[in-house]
Homo-oligomer: A and B are copies of this chain.
């Protein structure tokens, strides 16, 4: 920015706002200052400052998962964008429509290879469904429309706009507001329903594997009714973007993680995909196939882009599957004694009791992720977001974005310490925006998943080098101090009673609060 005399940036933001954008997660630099100035001039787009770009992109992802409305991010050139890539990777896997705005050097300055110049397109392509560079001011309105449409497509992903500073500074005539059709999922044709019905009649105890949109409440209910009718089972994909659970929803099993577990779980059943991808191994393990259900037992009712809910309801009608049993409401897991040392089960049992209705949980890490998803049915109705792409550092930013998308809802971050260390700066924005986020920080001071993998491979965990690369206990991070540093009050809990008291306190607060849950 050099003069802020034009209004290219204003025209862009007005078009994006007219198309639905209401929030902008920002970490601006000099090339974005005209856009900062424009945010002051365009009412209706709430600017939310983050201290690190990975917080911006993870928060945007959480925001769109909860609200369905495309948020903006504002990021500084290639290097600033690069810091947001990891969470955009997850957002792309989640199908989250986010519009990234990246300021770039003025077009006439770009050839001089100033220090911050880089190949932004090359950085953006792997995590964007569209990369749009503005080449002149006349393109502002049509390209905004294109970005909005791409971000609104079902199961789409991030759209990245590269905005040269001179175009943002340019004097432009106001264009018409973008015409954006409401996004809709493609309905599948009747033949697909007939095929699916035939599959269920093969008598293999068909598994309905639900993912994406199909995991909405109506989808889950229709799937449960079908499973009851055909003697099948309902599973959810292992890492849903967002899934409602608990309350009177039917219980739903989660696809396992390790290939041997998945193969055992799937048995010899046919698998009908409804918005889910075929079951594959998270990593490649010698001796196991990548695809864990063979092609001849794998059938597709809907792809992630199609209307899974409508297809499930059609299939239910065709099969005469009229309803499902109320949740079996099996007895809740036993709560450990108050004086017991804290464990994942202890945390989960306390949270089952106290989780408020319509809470949103941001899950990151296997320490609490597995235990929660096995027990979520016992809690009041809530929604869970998981790490869709495996890029860690998602949990805290996603919780932040969710809280901004659902004012009044309680947000809980069930966060492992190892992954929490990638984006702790999210705590600062939670404090700044006074968001009711309760962070349950599972502090086992190690990379548990790496130890598990090494142990499966019979590697010596106690070898000094291996230990030095998998243990985080020298020094042990003090998350209560980190939280305080960012303005978030916090306590440490080592017993079930301490944790439960801290949880009660946290849930009574209108602001963020962190509980460092010490685990073995």
Contacts and interface: CB of A to CB of B under 8 A. Distances in A.
A118 B123 CA distance: 11
Given A280-B114, A283-B31, A479 B485 contact: yes
Query: What is the copy number of this chain in the assembly?
Result: 2
B478 A485 contact: yes
A499 interface: no
Nearest to A456: B2
A83 B485 contact: no
A390 B481 contact: no
Nearest to A389: B115
Contacts of A486: 475, 477, 482
Interface in A284-319: 284-287, 290-291
Interface size class of A (residues with CB under 8 A): 35 or more
Contacts of A466: 36-37, 40
Contact of A468 (B3, B4, B47, B474): B47
Nearest to A458: B4
A472 B82 CA distance: 22
A63 interface: no
Contacts of A169: 286
A484 interface: yes
Interface in A469-507: 469-470, 472, 474-487
Interface in A118-137: 118-119, 122-123, 125-127
A382 interface: no
Nearest to A126: B119
B126 A122 contact: yes
B475 A290 contact: no
A109 B290 contact: yes
A85 B123 contact: yes
Interface stretch (A322-330, A406-414, A417-425): A417-425
Contacts of A54: 83
A30 interface: yes
- Among A80, A119, A391, residue most surrounded by chain B Cβ atoms (within 10 Å): A391
Given A85-B82, A283-B109, A390-B116, A30 B453 contact: yes
Given A79-B86, A282-B115, A457-B1, A484 B481 contact: yes
A233 to B, nearest CB: 23
A380 interface: no
A428 interface: yes
20 contacts: A2-B286, A4-B459, A33-B450, A36-B465, A40-B464, A47-B465, A47-B469, A82-B89, A82-B391, A83-B83, A85-B123, A112-B281, A114-B282, A115-B390, A116-B389, A118-B126, A122-B122, A481-B481, A481-B484, A483-B485
